[in-house]
Amino acid sequence: MKKNNLIADQPLVNRVANSGLITINLEEDYPTRDFIDFDLKEYLFKELILKEKDFRLALKEMDWEVYRDKIVLIYCSTDAILPVWSYMLVSAYLAPIAYDQYQGPKSEYLKQHYTQVIADMDCAAHEGKKVVIKGCSDKDVPPSAYLQMTKALQPYAQSIMYGEPCSTVPIFKRPRKV
């Protein structure tokens, strides 16, 4: 049986590399520091009542080194009604130790983080370009980051796609000027 040599005689062409696609990988902007929780519940009487004197003493005697260079998520996992200053006091102790601190869960921290990352991007640099926002991330990049990235790029990009450069889902295409 005779083999068809048409394919073997032609040089391999990387169509993805030659396509002019710009890939934005939001996973590259995922925080590199460890996250650690600070649950105020542990410092409440019967996990519900904040006694100021006991709370202040517990914070003063605490070993804060466990929070060094970490992103600290401050919250209360019970339905306790806490004064705002309780979060402020924890924050004051964390300020010289923690890399960052946030009042709320990791998912909300990531939303805020990506809002800032995208706001700091120079989306105008993608004027008239075909952009792929990489999907299938191994890290928990929030869906809101993809929405915000699309919104930020749309005034500039010629087209926006989602996925991998070899297999994309079209999201937006600027109409051709006549």
Q: H or E stretch including 63?
A: none
Q: Is residue 1 part of a domain?
A: no
Highest mean pLDDT among 13-17, 29-33, 138-142: 29-33
One domain for residues 27 and 39: no
- pLDDT tens readout for residues 33-68: 999 999 999 999 888 899 999 999 999 999 999 999
Q: How many CB atoms lie within 10 A of CB 24?
A: 19
Q: How many domains does the chain have?
A: 2
One domain for residues 53 and 65: yes
- pLDDT tens readout for residues 73-129: 999 999 999 999 999 999 999 999 999 999 999 999 999 999 999 999 999 999 999
One domain for residues 69 and 113: no
Last residue of a domain, one of 46, 71, 98: 98
Handedness of CA 144, 169, 130, 177 (dihedral sign): negative
One domain for residues 44 and 88: yes
Q: Is residue 75 part of a domain?
A: yes
Query: Domain limits at 68?
Result: 35-98
Q: Is residue 12 part of a domain?
A: no
One domain for residues 151 and 63: no
CA 126/CA 1 separation, integer angstroms? 51
Integer angstrom CA distances of residue 100 from 33, 68, 104, 130, 167: 9, 10, 13, 35, 37
Q: Residue 129: its pLDDT value, please?
A: 96
This prediction has a pTM of 0.82
One domain for residues 51 and 24: no
